[in-house]
Structure 1
Amino acid sequence: MKALLAKAFGPPETLVVEDVPDPVPGPGEVVVRVRAAALNFFDTLIIENRYQFKPPLPFSPSAECAGTIEALGPGVEGWAVGERVAAYLGWGAARERVAAPVERLTRIPEGLGFEGAAGLTVTYGTSLHALKDRARLKAGETLAVLGAAGGAGLAAVELGRLMGARVIACASSAEKLALAAAGGAEMILNYTEEPLRDGLKRLTGGQGVDVLCDPVGGDLAEPALRSMAWGGRYLVVGFAGGGIPKIPLNLVLLKGCDVQGVFWGAHLERDPEGHRANMADLMGWAAAGRLSAHVDQTFPLERAAEAFGRIARREARGKVVLVP
């Protein structure tokens, strides 16, 4: 079978497509024929050995995929060959077949395609965990989302709308903001044209933001924190802006707000039942058309460098998906 491989750590141009042996399912595993493998920002880091998880070489990137079950391993019950499933692996999904533990599978309902389902797990799973489990977002509250046209950002916009919040989408171009508005944002803010803090103050009538979802970090973090309402919740989701900010803690005191870490990867290990319930909700909402599961572009494995480049340059509007 074909697999996209990182044989040495380096930029996307060093990735190669090679033949590797087909996987054999072990106890508690199934083999999934991969129809779509989604990419995330952290994939641009993991191939260069700049991520917190460091898989042994050689490995395939892509943490999440969707496809059909082809084989069952010993002891597997409750699953059948031919079922349509999404799988979360951490890495290793950018290949034609994968062996996946059954606890990392979610059934794909009718009405949802493989490409859309492949990209739901990480970005929508992270954003739902952030908004529901961490911030406990309530209907009627104001939610601001940084990087609102990226994978996690667009997911947070859509989920915030679905949960009844007043959503402010913050991004760096009119094109990105148009996508976020189509995803349900009630208000938009271009922070290259108006300072983030000034814009959020204007849009909230000086009250500040109840919940702020930040997958960007970098220079936006401090003005975002300065924009919080009293008792607000600032969600630290990631650092797609490239820098890990240093926050003046006096702002947390003055705002009476919480800074909440969102470590979705640890959540699914520590609360597997909660994760499964969240994934079932996400798949159902996407199949019913309540979430877009928006795919920016698809690429064959042989054009993976283009796909990675689109993410690294922050050009993606939603998910970038590899199709083996």
Structure 2
Amino acid sequence: MVGSVGEPRDVLSLRDTPVPTPGRGQVLVEVLGAALGFPDALLCRGAYQDRPDLPFVPGAEVCGRVVDAGTVTDVAEGDRVAAVLPGGLGGLAQYAVADALQVYAVPPNLTDAEVAGLSTAYLTAWLGLHRRGALQPGENLVVSAAAGGVGSAAVQIGRAAGACVIAVTRGATKTAVARDLGAHVVVDSLTESVAERIREGTGGRGADVVFDPVGGDTYHELAKALAFGGRILVVGYAGGEIQTARLNRPLLGSYSIVGVNVGLHVRNEPDLVRDAMARIAALGASGVVRPLLGAVSPMGAAARQLQAVADGNTVGRVVVEPWNAEA
């Protein structure tokens, strides 16, 4: 639980709280795994666009087993599900309440930790690339932070869509991860010119779609490599600096700047989101996508692991097991 704002290592602590009670249209799940994301770190810092009242329990997405289905008929007690929690809160706990509309069936071949990392990251990638980016087979897709949780999902979804995927990341360890994910071209932003390498990797054409969860200077470097008619997807600002854009540049380059906010799609297009999650689950069942896990840790390590996410020192998804009481 977070009792004051600050760095996760300083403000996140274990506390006993009552088991929540599901309301109408909600289910109660026993949390088998809770995935940590950069928005969780921003919430701890008081720097997210939504600022919940203190104290609060972070954790937006979980793998859970339904223990109370209430009035909901689409799931049954005992079902293992993926869930995105109301307000993006409540996952770092032994039990959590989820709205039935954001509870999804999952592939049986994925582990609990993998299921925990399946929903938000892959929905962001799917809705960003397909709903907002209109990615087509054969197009050139550039993914920044490609070894991260959302970036690795975008690499896999892009490959499944038949795109040529160019992964941008930092350092030898993360570039190796991106290659293992199946990126066709890997760019190390620490040692290479990102825009030049994208041009080289696309035969001079540039990127048709850019998926950017980093923001700041990375956004501007990626924008230099957009092809005519390209789309740059603004997914976040994990680099710590919110990007700004001079609008003469998309005018001169005839490219589009497109925002991706999964929460708004969930509210405004719930049927589309459920269809997207069903397609993602099918890809998981067939082995085409599989969440990249950087760490699976007990509850006692939650503050340390979320700090690592906040500092950008992780690859893939970091998952906490609330049932695991080890220190």
Alignment TM-score, normalising by the size of structure 2: 0.95
CA deviation profile, 1:9-68 (whole Å, cap 9, x unmatched)? 221122111111112222111110000000111111001211011111111111000111
In structure 2, the residue matched to 1:80 is 76
- Report the Cα distance in structure 2 between the residues aligned to 1:132 and 1:281, rounded to whole angstroms: 12
Contact kept? 2:61, 2:84, Cα under 8 Å: yes
In structure 1, the residue matched to 2:185 is 187
CA deviation profile, 1:137-181 (whole Å, cap 9, x unmatched)? 011000011111111111111111110000000111121111111
- Number of residue pairs aligned between Structure 1 and Structure 2: 319
- Report the Cα distance in structure 1 between the residues aligned to 2:107 and 2:258, rounded to whole angstroms: 32
Contact kept? 1:183, 1:292, Cα under 8 Å: no
Contact kept? 1:117, 1:283, Cα under 8 Å: no
The alignment status of 1:69 with 2:66, answered yes or no, reads: yes
Match of 1:315 among 297, 310, 313: 313
The one-letter amino acid of 1:283's match is A
In structure 2, the residue matched to 1:304 is 302
- Report the Cα distance in structure 1 between the residues aligned to 2:114 and 2:198, rounded to whole angstroms: 32
Contact kept? 1:6, 1:57, Cα under 8 Å: yes
Contact kept? 1:33, 1:69, Cα under 8 Å: yes
Contact kept? 1:170, 1:188, Cα under 8 Å: yes
Match of 1:225 among 220, 223, 226: 223
Contact kept? 2:7, 2:307, Cα under 8 Å: no
In structure 2, the residue matched to 1:24 is 21
Deviates further, 153-162 or 109-118: 109-118
Contact kept? 1:209, 1:232, Cα under 8 Å: yes
In structure 1, the residue matched to 2:134 is 136
- Report the Cα distance in structure 2 between the residues aligned to 1:307 and 1:275, rounded to whole angstroms: 29
Match of 2:272 among 265, 274, 284: 274
In structure 2, the residue matched to 1:10 is 6
Match of 1:145 among 143, 146, 150: 143
The alignment status of 1:125 with 2:116, answered yes or no, reads: no
The one-letter amino acid of 1:77's match is T
Match of 1:54 among 39, 51, 55: 51
The one-letter amino acid of 1:232's match is G
Secondary structure in 2 matching 1:230: strand
- Any stretches of 5+ residues in structure 2 without a counterpart? 323-327
| Shift, 1:107, TM fit | 1.3
Give the CA RMSD over aligned residues.
Answer: 1.1
The one-letter amino acid of 1:81's match is E
Contact kept? 1:226, 1:251, Cα under 8 Å: no
- Any stretches of 5+ residues in structure 1 without a counterpart? none
CA deviation profile, 1:88-126 (whole Å, cap 9, x unmatched)? 011111100012111110012321221111111111110
Would you identify which runs of 4 or more consecutive aligned residues in structure 1 move more than 2 Å? Answer: none
